[in-house]
Structures are given as structure tokens and as C-alpha cells.
Amino acid sequence: MAITIEKIGGVKNKLGEGPVWDVAEKALYWIDGGAPAIYRLDPKTNDIKSWKTPKPIGSFALREKGGAVLALSDGFYLFDFESGEAKQIGEPAAKPGTMSASAPARSRIATWYSPCRSRRDRRKPFT
């Protein structure tokens, strides 16, 4: 089976990463860690939607019953695509001056989360 790679037109991400294919919607989601924002592409119509996140985003996972779980700079959030609302889950996980660095460990099973220094704070030691 041949693989075809196509550029998504009309999107200029600063740090586009973390693509996730939603089988049910037949849509591609990804994040721009530099914006910060979440994007969704419908390949049939080439329609692109975007949502700003309230804090820098490191990764996300789609939820089975809709919405997403976001790893933002100060912890995890539930995100509602309909309203654009992000609601923090529990207490903040990171200290000020850090941001999340996370990656899906396995689809719909787990996500690793660890704080890392933001670009402007890399010279400061972790405390």
C-alpha cells in the first residue's frame, strides 16, 4: 500500500505536533504548542477548525464520549470542543516557570506527563 503525504494548506503553526486520527469522525486533530491551540481537519471538505487553549499545551488525547484531555503547562484539563471551555482536573501538577512535556504512551490507555523548563527558563535549575 502506497502512502501519500500532503501538505495541509492555510495553516501556519509555530510548533505543529501530536497528530491524532479520530476514526469515528474521520478527522485529523493536532496541536500547535507555540500558539497554543488545537486544530481539526476534515479531509473531505478541507475545513480546518481551531481552538485556543488557556495555557501552553504539551499534548492531548481525545475522549471516547467527546472532548479531550489536555496536558497544559500547569496540569491536566478536560476540554469541550463545543464550548471551547477547559476545566482543570485536580491540583496543578507543575510549578510556575515550567510547562508540560508529555506524549501518548498508548492510544486511549495512558499519557506520560513531566514538567520541563520553558524556553526562557532553561538556565534556571529545577527546585
Q: What is the pLDDT of residues 86-121, one digit of tens each?
A: 999 977 655 655 555 555 544 444 455 555 555 555
To the question of pTM greater than 0.85 for the whole model, the response is: no
Q: How many CB atoms are located within 10 Å of the residue 13 CB?
A: 16
DSSP 109: T
Structural domain spans, the chain: 16-121
The three-state secondary structure class of 11 is: coil
Which of residues 112 and 31 earns the better pLDDT score? 31
Say if residues 57 and 38 touch (Cβ distance below 8 Å).
yes
Q: How many CB atoms are located within 10 Å of the residue 96 CB?
A: 9
- CA dist., res. 100 & res. 25, Å (int): 27
Assign domain 16-121 to its CATH architecture. 6 Propeller (2.120)
Q: How sure is the predictor about 79, in pLDDT bands with cuts at 50, 70 and 90? A: very high
Say if residues 60 and 79 touch (Cβ distance below 8 Å).
yes
Choice among 6-10, 39-43, 55-59, 79-83 with the minimum mean pLDDT: 6-10
For residue 109, the model assigns a pLDDT of 42
User: Is the pLDDT assigned to residue 47 strictly greater than 60?
Assistant: yes
Side chain identity, residue 101: A
The whole-angstrom distance between residue 68's C-alpha and the CA centroid of its chain comes to 9
Q: How many CB atoms are located within 10 Å of the residue 30 CB?
A: 19
User: What's the whole-number average pLDDT of the chain?
Assistant: 80
